[in-house]
Amino acid sequence: MPEAPAMHIDKGLDNTIIGESRKSFIDGQAGILEYVGIDIDDLARTSTFEEVVFLLWNDRLPTAAELESFETELRAEYSLSSEMVGMLKSIPHDASPMHVLRSMVSSLALEDPECNDQSLESERRKAIRVLSKTPAIIAGFDRCRRGLELIDPDPSLNMATNFLWMLNGEMPGEASARAIDVCLILHADHGINASTFAAMVTIATQSDMYSALTSAVGTLRGPLHGGANERVMHMLQSIGGHDEVESFVMNSLENKTRIMGFGHRVYKALDPRAKYLKTFAEQIAEETGNTDLYVLSTRIQDIMDREVGAKGIYPNVDFYSATTYFSLGLAIDLFTPVFAMSRNAGWAAHSLEQHQDNRLIRPRCQYMGEHGVEYVHIDKR
């Protein structure tokens, strides 16, 4: 019998590298994030979400012709079938949009004739379908619950603009559409975070892309992960006014209650996405007259910097994306679905990478229970 390798416990997998990847690089000490070697700042300033998806799925930037053809492929999948629209309409209107999204992503497999084709090309096509249909699911459900008619997607628009069009039924201004586009770029990938890991674990069993993306949506939902952006907004709204910020933060720290939108498992410096989103949040707040919320946020950041900055606790991506989304008029419970809309890109990128060089992901745990326990018949217990 071969000798069993040495094992160690790594609760939370903080110190475990689970494999190799070419998708994103994070230097948590220096506060650097790159997608396929390109700095996130450069991408946020000059790229588009569609180009970033191509980059993550192909490990290189597209040529103009490749980008055009990729965009055509994505836009051809924008709409939902009448059966999916029917399903969306039948969901209780008070359901949480993340539960809706998880159920609908899962349901897309039901009408895909190639759902059992496990080839790489087929899995890529499935990823395109989920990525392209997610905006219609989120916007469609929001309109259903508001008692409004659903708006057909417009394939002449990019994903960000089309999302706002389907959500509001009016063409967004250039600044709002670009704001969503940049948010999609900034959230597209982030190494092996919890939801990406969930997707990889699923695809590694030779299940399928729908199952992988469904696992990921369910995992993103939690407040320690993607759900934090909604909690940030609730937290900001719960603080009465600027005079109460100091006592709110100090009481929370004293009671060991986490300030949502701060801290990160990997970043011990300022999250580079937060740096970008802060500038953005300020601009949009000024444009939309929501400066109060922005100022409140910066006040929290100042106090957190003073109190826990030395411990490496800084704003993460969720802190300023919350005020950005709010200023753009998004319902608070759509913040995490919009995160998912973007992260589909990264989930699929890592799942396709796993598919190409697969090994079943199967960690172990240290058994702490007893051995040789006698089975006692139910009548005698």
Q: How many positions of this chain bind ligand CMC (CB under 6 A)?
A: 19
Going by C-alpha positions, the residue among 269, 292, 293, 277 that lies closest to residue 339 is 277
Residue 315 φ then ψ, to 5°: -60, 140
Choose, by CB under 6 A, the member of 316, 324, 342, 351 that binds ligand CMC: 316
**Cβ 260 to ligand CMC shortest distance, Å:** 5
Q: Which two tokens stand for residue 318?
A: 């969720």
CB half-sphere exposure, 116, CA atoms < 13 A: 0
3-class DSSP state of 364: coil
- 295 is a contact residue toward ligand CMC (CB under 6 A): no
- Select from 16-24, 208-216, 293-301, 313-321 the region that touches ligand CMC (CB under 6 A): 313-321
Cβ-based nearer residue to ligand CMC, 8 or 256: 256
Interface residue with ligand CMC among 53, 259, 281, 328 (CB under 6 A) is 259
8 Å CB contact between 287 and 175: yes
User: Among residues 120, 148, 224, 250, which is the contact residue for ligand CMC, using CB under 6 A?
Assistant: 224
Set 225, 271, 350, 355: catalytic member: 225
Find, among 102, 287, 54, 85, the residue nearest to 166 by Cα: 85
Taking the complex as a whole, the smallest distance from the CB of residue 139 to ligand CMC amounts, in Å, to 23
Catalytic residue chosen out of the listed positions 181, 189, 271, 318: 318
Residues of this chain, 180-199, that bind ligand CMC according to CB under 6 A? 193
Q: Under the criterion CB under 6 A, does residue 264 sit at the interface with ligand CMC?
A: yes
Q: Which stretch binds ligand CMC (CB under 6 A): 90-98, 108-116, 251-259, 282-290?
A: 251-259
Residues sharing a CB contact under 8 Å with residue 94, sequence separation 6 or more, in sequence order: 145
Chain centre distance of CA 234: 19
Place of tokens 């900034």: 186
Spatial contact of 52 and 43, defined as CB atoms under 8 Å apart: yes
Residue 264: active-site member? yes
Which of 264, 271, 350, 355 is labelled catalytic? 264
Residues recognised as catalytic: 225, 264, 318
